[in-house]
Amino acid sequence: MTTPRLLLGEMRQRWTDRPSRPSDWWHLPLPPWAQDELEAFGHGRAALPLWQRGEIRWGWMLMAHVDIYAPGEKDRAAGVLWSPDPLLQDDPGLLQATCAAYWVVKSGGFSDGQPLTEVPGLKGFVAHSRDEYTRRSRIRLPPMIAGARIIYDETLMLQRAHLPQGHLTGKLVPLVVDPSAQVRAVRLLPCQIWPTPLVEMWSAG
């Protein structure tokens, strides 16, 4: 039986065996609108150190531009949740539950009869969650959403050439992150080194 732990282990081994010089697919160009933010998306001067120091973590898709859900040509930015917590690498379904809690807060609602926008520690985050145009970089979710775990809200670039079907068909995604946080950006692990079961999972939708 294929489990998230086994899939992650296989990807980490393949990543460990990568060449010292980045493969061509690591340097695919970003869209014109992102040229002023290359490092923010893990490209430009951030590409090589992320290749050299990066580690693989599970992420869960939070939101994405509507275009990326269908075949097309344009690459798009998206929002993803991820965590350095080892437990969430074995059971990334916890990220899915956190994503659901995120959307409850984002869409409004009440806690003990009090609007979430007035709950201490949430007011600023609610405003942040509703701002879909500002790029996010390691924004830690508040305890009311993530509990005691460290879970980040992050913006990344979805490059169609790195997706199994050329568009977004799944929620569970492998990410390349710098554990030292010297490079704060995260990148999607290109599907060229995904295990076959994960590719098939995405291909099935």
Q: pLDDT tens across 122-161, in order? A: 767 777 777 777 788 899 998 888 999 999 999 999 999 9
- The pairing of beta strand 172-177 with beta strand 55-64: antiparallel
Does residue 55 have a pLDDT over 80? yes
pLDDT bracket for residue 176 (50, 70, 90): very high
pLDDT digits (tens, 9 = 90+) for 114-128: 666 667 767 677 777
- What is the 8-class DSSP label of residue 66? G
State mean pLDDT over 14-22.
Answer: 94
Q: What is the mean pLDDT of the chain?
A: 90
Structure tokens at 7: 């899939």
CA–CA dist 155, 63 (Å, integer): 9
19-24: long-range contacts (C-beta < 8 A, 24 or more apart)? 22/47, 22/48, 22/51, 23/192
State mean pLDDT over 15-22.
Answer: 94
Q: What global pTM score does this model have?
A: 0.91
CA–CA dist 167, 106 (Å, integer): 25
User: Where in 12-75 does DSSP place strands (E)?
Assistant: 55-64
CA–CA dist 143, 179 (Å, integer): 22
Who has greater pLDDT, 9 or 131?
A: 9
Share of the chain above pLDDT 90, in %: 76
Does residue 197 have a pLDDT over 90? yes
Does residue 110 have a pLDDT over 90? no
Q: Is 189 exposed, middle or buried (0-12, 13-18, 19+ CB in 10 A)?
A: buried
Radius of gyration of the chain (CA): 17
Closest Cα partner for 157 from 91, 18, 64, 86? 64
pLDDT value at residue 205: 66
Q: Are 88 and 60 in contact (CB under 8 A)?
A: no
Structure tokens at 39: 């490092």
CA–CA dist 78, 48 (Å, integer): 22
CA–CA dist 167, 67 (Å, integer): 9
Q: Are 156 and 65 in contact (CB under 8 A)?
A: no
